[in-house]
Amino acid sequence: MKAIVVLALCVAAVAALTEEEVWLQYNRRMPGEYYTKGMPVRPPYQGRIVGGVEADIANYPYQLSLRRVSHSCGASVIAARWALSAAHCTFPTPAPTAITLQGGSSNRQTGGVVFAVEQIINHPNYDDFNLRNDVCVLRTAADLSGVNIAPIALDPVGASHVAGSRAVLSGWGLDDDRQLPIMLRRIDIPVVDQALCASQWNPGWVTDDMICASEPGRDACNGDSGGPLVVAGQQIGIVSWGDSLCVGTSPGVFARVAFPLIRNWINEVTGFASIEGEQWIRDTHRHMPGAYHSLGLTVQPPNLGRVVGGVDANIADYPYQLSLRRFNGHFCGASVISGRWALSAAHCTFPLPAASSVQLLGGTADRTAGGVMFDVEEIINHPNYDDWTVEFDVELEFRRSFYNVSIFRLFRMRNVLLLGQLDGSLQTCFVLANLDGMHAMEIAVAHSLLEDIK
């Protein structure tokens, strides 16, 4: 009888915590060394996702809310029965029944699917004082599946990212009005050079198992702990610790997924090697008309991974080239055709995605770093596009102005197609592919086709 009474009191105590108290109890942390300087264990209630915007969960289907009655941390889907989060969110390790995971909803209070957790495993080398190896995995009682629920690829062992690589961070961190947001939000931030990041903090705080990202006015904060940092369609970091004001003055620090002692541990514990990082490129790859199917041919050509006969290219020579991006990873090419319009293939945006899920990167030959990122306001596929025959495979995208004319010279299809020398019925033109670096190759085009296009 006493045990029942004590249990009831414990449950009542948890339920009595306000949502804010639960949230801040598992907030993004700072290394323990801060405590010796008289700073609070938890950052004060003044953080927010500065510069963030509301996001649709359909565009971030890997995003989860880790919950102790209410939202306390972020997490990500990495396999059918496994989620990834920060160890400081689950330290000391709680009973699995104390934690649930919500997925498939932008609204942290309603909708989606709530999954019971049957196992919580913190990294064995996690240190709650200096926040090293700040990683945990959670096994669910049922498959993490449903509408708008899908796994994110993990950075491979030993991978590195150059400073300036654009990363996307999503979560339910505090907003600009210091309110606990109901709807999912996202920010785009650059990866910060490791040495520069370390110099902004006390010696020894930033270690090899960490990666930094943020910029003035943009950072992670309260409620984002454990959430995913994604570059080019792969999760590279887990929100761990940073500036208590959450304004990006000092770089935000994330657990580095690619660190061997972290990445290999994830594989060992979960028994998987994660989904392929190039999944999105393959899913939107150039494809053949559906009629080919009747001949027993594959819809998607083999993933050869190269432009045959191509050479590295300088973006200055092809300033109209854009990278069409989703989940902050390249999946198709596009081109600048006017001040606010870009041109691409309809099969890249079919079925029509939300405009907020697509971005365009221009002004850089490296698809993972540099250049300028543009948000898309409108996507219009050709009304006669046929995804079976691939006829009228054209779409237009509208965004804020391509403001740097020195980088983004407008290009006219006629002028580009007329590059090269006429040779009988064939004429050459350039085709660009944005891989890790941009590649160019010259191909023959039927003159009659050119006349039709002109």
Q: Which residues are catalytic?
A: 88, 134, 225
Give CA–CA dist 168/189, Å, rounded: 6
Report how many helices (DSSP H) and strands (DSSP E) the chain contains, helices first: 7, 23
Q: Do the beta carbons of residue 165 and residue 189 sit within 8 Å?
A: no
Q: Which two tokens stand for residue 229?
A: 């940092």
Backbone phi and psi for residue 228, each to the nearest 5 degrees, phi listed first: -90, 140
Q: Do the beta carbons of residue 291 and residue 303 sit within 8 Å?
A: no
Q: How far is CA 341 from the centre of its chain?
A: 24
Rg (CA), the chain: 24
Backbone phi and psi for residue 419, each to the nearest 5 degrees, phi listed first: -65, 145
28-59: b or e for each residue (b if 16 or more CB lie within 10 Å)? bbbbeebeeeeeeeebeeebbbbbbeebbbeb
Q: How far is CA 210 from CA 154, 238, 326, 393, in A?
A: 15, 9, 25, 43
CB atoms within 10 A of CB 97: 9
